[in-house]
A and B are shown apart, each in its own frame.
Chain A
Amino acid sequence: MNFLNKIIFFYYREYKLNMSGIQDILTNIIFFFISIFIFIFSIGSDKETISLIGVGILWTLLLLSSTLSLRKFYQDDFENGNLLIIHLNGFSFGFISILKTFSHFLFVQVPFLLSIPIACILLNISNDKLFYLFASFSIGSLILSCLGSISSSMNLMNQRNFLLGSVIVMIFSVPVIIFSVGIINMEESFNSLINILFGILLIVFAINPWASGLCLKLSLENN
């Protein structure tokens, strides 16, 4: 029971932290919408062209916007020693990475999820595609959070080159983009593609605590 309470209060702490830095979340969303506008201005006002490539643009921008927040994934807790304190309170490093991944999903990805309908209007994506977009983004964003956790924990040992972590996330998110965009453009293969996406989620979800946990331990050891 104590352990469950600790998990609940871990998220209470994450909520407080994220609410105190809500401007960071809003900046991400603003970056996302401004980027959509830039795409629209650069492509032109042809509705059909925008509609045709809209889903691809949306997914690319969601990926880029969510990588913006990766720097803070573990960095603050690592620098102020909270990572160690949380570990000393009975959470293994692997378990911390699972909790942080869900926290990133809740406080960074869910706001994007909620802003998708507005983005769809801007990019002339039809309403009937909205369900597929939500389904693919719900799974895809969890995959991105898992990849983000791995790359951010690796970055703790590499203070000099933050971009390296973003590059790793982008390379490994190529399959996510392919299948997620595929789901929306090929609705008849929805079941098979969503299963593949779900399979990728299970793989990264299994690797994440192991890889991130090890990186967290190594970075604290070498700090």
Chain B
Amino acid sequence: MLIVQDLSIERLDKKIFENISLSLVPGNITILKGKNGSGKTTLLKAILNIIEPSFGSIYWKGKLLQKNLYDFYNHVTYIGDSTSSLKKLTLRDNINIWKKFFISNVNDAQIEIALKTLRLDNYLNKKVGTLSFGETKKLEFLRLIMENKKVWILDEPLSNLDEDSIELMKQTFEDHCGKEGSIIFSSHQNPGIYVTEEINL
């Protein structure tokens, strides 16, 4: 499905990484490992066509990514290192906005179950700005369920999470891969998740 071939990125004449290749097929989990500043976010942004690579190419369903970009975007959910929920609004408002904007076919009962599993059901009428960073991060994962797309691209998804939440994420990853989904995520630590491919940057 997604093939990254000999990707190199230079910025301001500084080599960030070179000759990175990976392939993502349904059911696969790929982890990008490396220290802070090793280029994990840069690689994820290059895969999303936000950063142009200096060398190498990315293919989606056999075509160059640039020529098949919006089909790729139709199949991908990205969670970055910043939290995208709107802090001035309540959890309920955020969920409503996402549900409408992503034209989600996930029903209210499924959302309620997800909120309970994430232990966020008591905060529905609270403003996101009043939640802790870990809780906001968990709210972000609700987007994965609401967008209901096949490819998940996640930047440091496990940082700032407690042990229970990490365990929950592991389970969610396995479920997603069991449904022919695929995941690329970055981490600077060993997450203890079974991965099919490991890229060291």
Residues of chain A having any CB pair with chain B under 8 Å: 2, 5-6, 9-10, 12-13, 16-17, 20-21, 79-82, 84-85, 87-90, 217, 220-221
Contact = CB atoms under 8 A, between A and B. Distances in A.
Given A88-B48, A88-B73, A221-B50, A12 B88 contact: no
B188 interface: no
B73 A13 contact: no
A90 B70 contact: yes
A9 B100 contact: yes
Tell me the interface secondary structure of chain B in the complex. Answer: loop
B88 A17 contact: yes
A83 B102 CA distance: 14
Interface string B71-112: 001101110101111111100010001001111000000000
Nearest to B99: A9
Contacts of A87: 73
B152 to A, nearest CB: 12
A13 B97 contact: yes
B45 interface: yes
19 contacts: A5-B100, A5-B103, A9-B100, A10-B101, A12-B101, A13-B97, A17-B86, A17-B89, A20-B86, A20-B88, A79-B82, A80-B82, A80-B84, A80-B87, A81-B80, A81-B82, A84-B80, A85-B84, A221-B45
B73 A90 contact: yes
A84 B82 CA distance: 11
Interface string B18-37: 00000000000000000000
Contacts of B83: 80-81
Interface residues of B, number: 26
A6 B50 contact: no
B191 to A, nearest CB: 22
A10 B102 CA distance: 10
Given A20-B89, A80-B87, 9 more contacts: A2-B103, A17-B88, A20-B86, A20-B88, A81-B82, A84-B80, A89-B101, A89-B102, A90-B70
B51 interface: yes
Contacts of B52: 221
Contacts of B102: 89
Contact of B74 (A10, A21, A85, A90): A90
B87 to A, nearest CB: 8
A21 B93 CA distance: 14
A89 B73 contact: yes
Interface in B163-195: none
Contacts of A20: 86, 88-89
Given A9-B100, A84-B78, A217-B50, A16 B84 contact: no
A16 B103 contact: no
A82 B84 contact: yes
Contacts of A89: 73, 101-102
